[in-house]
Amino acid sequence: MMMLTPSEEKLLKAIFEIAVQASSEVHTNDLAHRLGLKPGSVTEALRRLADKGCISYERYQPVRLTIIGKNLALKILRRQRLWNAYLFNKMNFSLDELAVHSEQLGSIPSERLVDALDELLGQPLFDPFGDPIPDRKGKMRGECFVSIGKLPAGSRCRVAAFSDHSEAFLEYVQRLGLCIGSELTLLAVEAFDGSATILVNGEPPHSISREVARSILSSSREHCCAFDKDLPVPPCLGDQPTPKPSLH
């Protein structure tokens, strides 16, 4: 198995996540902003990943994962997200404590350890952030999630994931009483700035910014494997076209 440094693993994971979350091209400045690095430092790291065959990269052009790079990124995500689940569910770590520890533990390149961890946890489909966990073949769920910033006023949903994992954001949503599975009602959306008023679990309403609304993801289905992993045929894996976000 190809060996990557921890910083190279972090960069490869960021390339994959940006491409998946934004469904768009990945550029050096995107990566620099996400990782808190200077563009020059990212450029040098991208060259090293290109030399190892993980990405296709030319200066001033979008970064693209090769098949090798995509497979490695999925293995990295599998390790780190399983460790997230273990630390949260078995050791009572809080959400804002997970990132550093799961990255350190996830740098252990043992597939046997990862598979044992998966069995111990009952083969979870999602980690505590709501991020889908790739299985041994690299398949994962979650394509049906939608930002609540795209829902109309009056929508009722359940929180399925958070796209922002920063400590400041996680502390903020916890103060709002938000966690995966929280029942949320979108009371109003301001046309001027995209801010929204939400009701969480029936508590008094809160006003949140457009950026916060964009970072809170909901299932677009009434029945979702994010909350019920035993669905016989999860809707997101069926042949039906994805409907508009439902009220539930």
| Contact of 124 with 85, CB cutoff 8 Å | yes
- Between 87 and 226, whose confidence is greater? 87
Check: CB of residue 54 under 8 Å from CB of residue 10: no
Residues in the chain: 248
Higher-confidence residue of 164 and 238: namely: 164
Of the CA atoms within 13 Å of residue 88, those in its CB half-sphere come to: 23
Task: Please determine, for residue 246, whether its predicted confidence score (pLDDT) is greater than 50.
Answer: no
Counting residues of the chain whose pLDDT is more than 90, the rounded percentage is 55
CA distances from 66 to 27, 52, 70, 133, 154 (A): 15, 10, 6, 21, 43
Q: Is pLDDT at 18 greater than 80 in this prediction?
A: yes
What average pLDDT does range 28-44 have in this prediction? 90
- State yes or no: pLDDT of 177 exceeds 80: yes
Terminal-to-terminal C-alpha distance of the chain: 45
237 has pLDDT over 80: no
Answer whether residue 248 shows pLDDT above 70: no
Separation CA 13–CA 94 (nearest Å): 22
Counting residues of the chain whose pLDDT is more than 70, the rounded percentage is 90
Whether pLDDT at 172 is above 80: yes
Domains and CATH numbers, the chain: 6-65 (1.10.10.10), 141-248 (2.30.30.90)
Q: Residue range 139-166: average pLDDT?
A: 88
Q: What is the pLDDT of residues 40-95, one digit of tens each?
A: 899 999 999 999 999 999 888 899 999 999 999 999 999 999 999 999 999 999 88
Radius of gyration of the chain (CA): 19
Give tens-digit pLDDT for 95-127. Answer: 888 888 988 898 888 899 999 999 999 999 999
